[in-house]
Amino acid sequence: MPHNPDLVPPPADAPAAAIPPPAPKRPSLVKIPSVRGEEEEVMILMPTTEIKLINLTGFNMSKMKLEEIARLYLSGGLMAKEEFQNFKKTSVQEDSNAKDIDELFVEAEEVLPVFKQTMQDIVEAVGLSPDDLVMVDGTALHSGETVLTFAPLKGAERAKQKMKDDYEGNHLCLLDLVRCSIIVETEEQITGVLQKMLDIGILVRLKNRFANPLPTGMRDCLLNVKVDGHVAEVQVHQANVFEEKHTMHIYYKFFREMFPNGADSYEELMKQKSENKNRLEELKKEYPWLDEESSDKEEESSDDDEESSDWEDEESSDDDEESSDEEEAEGDY
């Protein structure tokens, strides 16, 4: 089968692309001779099932890579310490005087310089330079992130929609108008950042997903800090995990749209993969000519995939802009 750049695994130096389910271009049933000498229809693999299995392979490879990263870089047990376990002191802007969302944005704008200086001081306190490129095994990340990255203030329309959908119109529940990310290499640096925040008394909410990883294998820390009375959001990442995050998110998004049941969907897909593989192997033993038929279909599938290989290029910028908001909707906090 010719190499198809859309199939997993992706090239090491470029983001992966999950394969979208195409419109079926060949029958999902094939006619084969039965033991009675008649023809009967037998389902082999529907094109959409093939696509699911291809992406499931990519999902599993990405998850295994994340587990190996955790073994190599996050096995010291530091993140399991009691002081770094999940806690929540507040879930609202309790010190805010803002009467509406517009006034809350004014407060966010005013606190931004102090927030930036505070985060820079914390990063420097653990021996890192905020503006340095994040390195993985001596090479800068493909996406070019720096150790400390400040996002723009959250978009007003997105904030208003979130306030309406998630918080019953309460603007004081918006804790991520001001936000940043910190990307480090070692477990000691992660705990150093958290300890510094605890020492200066700004950490008001912690979700430690290094100690409690997601079913996908993703690990990070989701934090809220209170600076000059305003609660802001900080995400702390380990560099190798962060590098793999973009690949995993593509597969996660693919399966989330098709199977909305989270971890249950993953178990369902694993069962499907096993059942389909076993059934196909049984059919090939009974009807050897299916091996040849399957090879022909793979070549045809490769041609079909090449026709749609640009699908993600056309939408990638939109997906990137939406990805952080989609993760918020998944209940990061």
Give residue for tokens 């905020």.
130
CB 224 within 8 A of CB 174: no
Whole-number Å distance between alpha carbons of 282 and 168? 55
pLDDT in the model for residue 168? 96
CATH level 2 (architecture), domain 85-239 = 2-Layer Sandwich (3.30)
Residue 223: strand pairing partners: 206, 234
Residue boundaries of the structural domains of the chain = 29-69+246-329, 85-239
Task: Write 271-277 long-range contacts (CB < 8 A, 24+).
Answer: 272/49, 272/52, 272/53, 273/53, 273/56, 276/45, 276/49, 276/53
In this prediction, residue 29 has a pLDDT band, given cuts at 50, 70 and 90, of very low
Are the C-beta atoms of residues 6 and 19 closer than 8 Å to each other? yes
Q: Which residue has the higher pLDDT, 287 or 222?
A: 222
Asked if residues 274 and 267 have their Cβ atoms less than 8 Å apart, the reply is no
Q: What is the pLDDT of residue 27?
A: 40
- Spatial neighbors of 198 by CB under 8 A, at least 6 apart, are 83
How much is the pLDDT for 25?
46
pLDDT for 45 beyond 70 = no
Q: Are strands 135-136 and 139-140 parallel, antiparallel or unpaired?
A: antiparallel
DSSP 133: B
pLDDT digit string, tens, across residues 78-97: 888 999 999 999 999 999 99
| Buried b / exposed e along 155-169 (16+ C-beta atoms within 10 A) | eeeebeebbeeeeee
Mean model confidence pLDDT for the chain: 77
Range of 7-16, 42-51, 227-236, 302-311 with top mean pLDDT: 227-236
Q: Coil, strand, or helix at residue 249?
A: helix
**pLDDT at residue 73 greater than cutoff 60:** yes
Nearest-angstrom CA–CA distance, 198 and 182: 16
pLDDT of residue 279: 59
Share of the chain above pLDDT 90, in %: 49
Q: Each residue of 204-227: pLDDT tens digit?
A: 999 999 999 998 899 999 999 999
Q: What is the pLDDT of residues 108-124, one digit of tens each?
A: 999 999 999 999 999 99
**Strand pairing report for 179-184 and 230-238:** parallel
Phi, psi (deg, nearest 5) at residue 330: -80, -5
What is the number of alpha carbons within 13 Å of residue 102 lying toward its C-beta?
0
- In 3D space, the residue among 109, 26, 62 whose CA is nearest the CA of residue 214 turns out to be 62
Three-state DSSP class for 52? helix
